[in-house]
Structure 1
Amino acid sequence: MTGERPIGEDDLQAFVDGRLPSSRRDAVTAYLAEHPGTAEQVERESAHREALRTRLAFKAQEPIPSRLRVANIMAVRRRSSPWRPAAFAAVLAWLAIGGVLGAWGGFWWASRTQRQAEAVSVADNAIAAHRIYVSERLHPVEVPADQEAHLVQWLSRRVGKPLTAPNLNAQGYHLIGGRLLPDSGEAAAQFMYESVGGNRLTLYARSGGDEAETSFRFEERDGVSACSWIDKGLSYVVTAKVSRAELLPIAEVIYKQLEATSEPAKGHL
């Protein structure tokens, strides 16, 4: 997750399609080397694409038969209203090939679009929760940081996966506590941090469904920045009223800490 901007879905799609600019290809290749889950997914999609292309290559390389050219078809129609069965069958065969390619591409694109829509929905809920609770002064959290062990265990049990409250002291934020939230019928966890200057940052986590891992997705809404990703079946969103340049390094620190503590965390549940 290095470089001028994080690797996104558009980069991965262009990589699979073979149309990624050379200036970006090295960054994507390095990213995939560091994220084996995403690399496996990209490899599978590339293999499916090439397999389908290879399977139908013989047909795509054939010249269009003269009887199927528009001028000849129109001439046949003028001479005889019903098409000859052979010509009609040939046209259907070409349409079927186009349909297979289009359907497969449509399915691949639709599944990717659905994953993106789900990620946007989680980010929307995380941003909304951030706006509501960071302004609270008396009750910003349900469980305070002095009960961190209980907080993490409780939220892990409710979300259904092991959670960790990252240590952001080096980034200038200390944990003040957390709370349980609803998200589209699922349980979500919110950890809240505060800087010495009083600026608050939240880490939102909920079950991420079938998706194992995604790249960072950044968005900004009315001065509030959010960076979201999925890792090991959990959707994460880190949100704060800071710039993109300030938020992304914090998100990377959180990501690395979660990666480092994911295996030990399993032993507590």
Structure 2
Amino acid sequence: MSQLLVTEAELHAYVDGFLSEVRQREVEAYLAERPEELARVQAYRAQNEDLRALFQPVLDEPVPSRLTSGLQSWMQTYGRYAAGLLLAVAGGIGGWMLHAATQSNTMLAQLNTSPVPLKVSTLARQAAVAHSVYSPDARRPVEVSAEQEDQLVTWLSKRTGSPMRPPKLGKLGYELIGGRLLPGESGPVAQFMYQNALQQRLTLYVSTDQAQNKDTGFRFAQEGAVNVFYWIDGKFGYALSAGIDKGELANIAHAVYEQLDKTQ
């Protein structure tokens, strides 16, 4: 049986037709060896078709002119706020997936068994949700690509009010795709996205509103198939998310920490 790793988010992206052709073939091979998973995916597709059939008559109706008038100006004025609200709602919905309790983890020779502060837990949850929302996107997973890394760094640093520099993970097999700005708990946060040769993606979520958190230990959380290592360093909160093995993600988090520590 194939050992190919396929995340829950990728299964949904496969159903919705958002995967690249290469990744789609890999997922098809994965499902061909797993009848139970294939049946579940087919059930998702059947649900989509049922919903489409149910609402198609409404979708085919023309939009009343009274609703379309002024729509463009509304979008220009409020579109950005609506996008932020959408992600916030996604964060709330994604919370149900965090069924596994946040647990202590040894990393960098540190062990922390104290209760997890609320904001730290929120950091992991928001990072995992953002990863699940954007990493399956085959068309536009980032706002600014790695080809424009200098502009990306300048933009994110200006918007967050703090220096932002994506770590180099090429030696670990992951190359930077790019990044984006996201709404955080009390201000903007940055997300950097990486991808390996198998198109497996991981994201680094960087928050700058953690000054009140004195707990600096490394911690591990899990949301569905997404593993998260996160830690606090001064006002910065870092969360590395991916649908990969916990041990592999820990090694990458170690490398990220060392690079960030050298730049401070």
Instruction: Return the index of the structure with the highest Cα Rg.
Output: 1
Aligned AA (2:162): K
1:116–1:243 Cα change, 3 Å: same
TM-score scaled by length of structure 1: 0.56
Check if 1:9 corresponds to 2:10. Answer: no
- Residue 239 of structure 1 corresponds to 241
Aligned AA (1:204): Y
- Structure 1: how far apart are the matches of 2:215 and 2:158? 21
Contact kept in structure 2, 1:206 and 1:235, CA below 8 Å: yes
Q: Which structure is higher in RCO with an 8 Å CA cutoff and minimum separation 6?
A: 2
1:12-61 CA-partner distances (Å, limit 9, x unpaired): x5xxxxxxxxxxxxxxxxxxxxxxxxxxxxxxxxxxxxxxxxxxxxxxxx
- Structure 1: how far apart are the matches of 2:120 and 2:211? 10
Deviation of 1:213 after TM superposition, in Å, equals 6.2
Partner of 1:9, secondary structure, is coil
- Structure 1: how far apart are the matches of 2:184 and 2:111? 24
Contact kept in structure 2, 1:179 and 1:190, CA below 8 Å: yes
Contact kept in structure 2, 1:212 and 1:233, CA below 8 Å: no
- Residue 143 of structure 1 corresponds to 144
Contact kept in structure 1, 2:106 and 2:112, CA below 8 Å: no
1:59-92 CA-partner distances (Å, limit 9, x unpaired): xxxxxxxxxxxxxxxxxxxxxxxxxxxxxxxxxx
TM-score scaled by length of structure 2: 0.57
1:144-175 CA-partner distances (Å, limit 9, x unpaired): 00111111121112112112100000010000
Q: In angstroms, what is the RMSD of aligned CA positions?
A: 1.6
Contact kept in structure 1, 2:160 and 2:188, CA below 8 Å: yes
Q: Please say which of residues 166-175 and 215-224 is displaced more in the overlay.
A: 215-224
Check if 1:214 corresponds to 2:229. Answer: no
Structure 2 stretches of 5 or more lacking a match?
A: 1-104
Deviation of 1:212 after TM superposition, in Å, equals 5.9
- Structure 2: how far apart are the matches of 1:175 and 1:201? 10
1:207-242 CA-partner distances (Å, limit 9, x unpaired): 122336601111122111000001131000000001
Contact kept in structure 1, 2:157 and 2:164, CA below 8 Å: yes
Q: What percentage of residue pairs aligned between the two structures are identical?
A: 38
Query: Number of residue pairs matched?
Result: 157
Deviation of 1:261 after TM superposition, in Å, equals 1.5
Aligned AA (2:239): V
Check if 1:173 corresponds to 2:174. Answer: yes
- Residue 78 of structure 1 corresponds to none
- Structure 2: how far apart are the matches of 1:5 and 1:213? 14
Contact kept in structure 2, 1:230 and 1:236, CA below 8 Å: yes
Deviation of 1:9 after TM superposition, in Å, equals 3.0
Structure 1 segments of 4+ aligned residues over 4 angstroms from their partners: none
Contact kept in structure 1, 2:179 and 2:190, CA below 8 Å: yes
Q: Which has the higher helix share?
A: 1
Aligned AA (1:235): G
Aligned AA (1:244): K
- Residue 29 of structure 2 corresponds to none
Deviation of 1:184 after TM superposition, in Å, equals 1.8
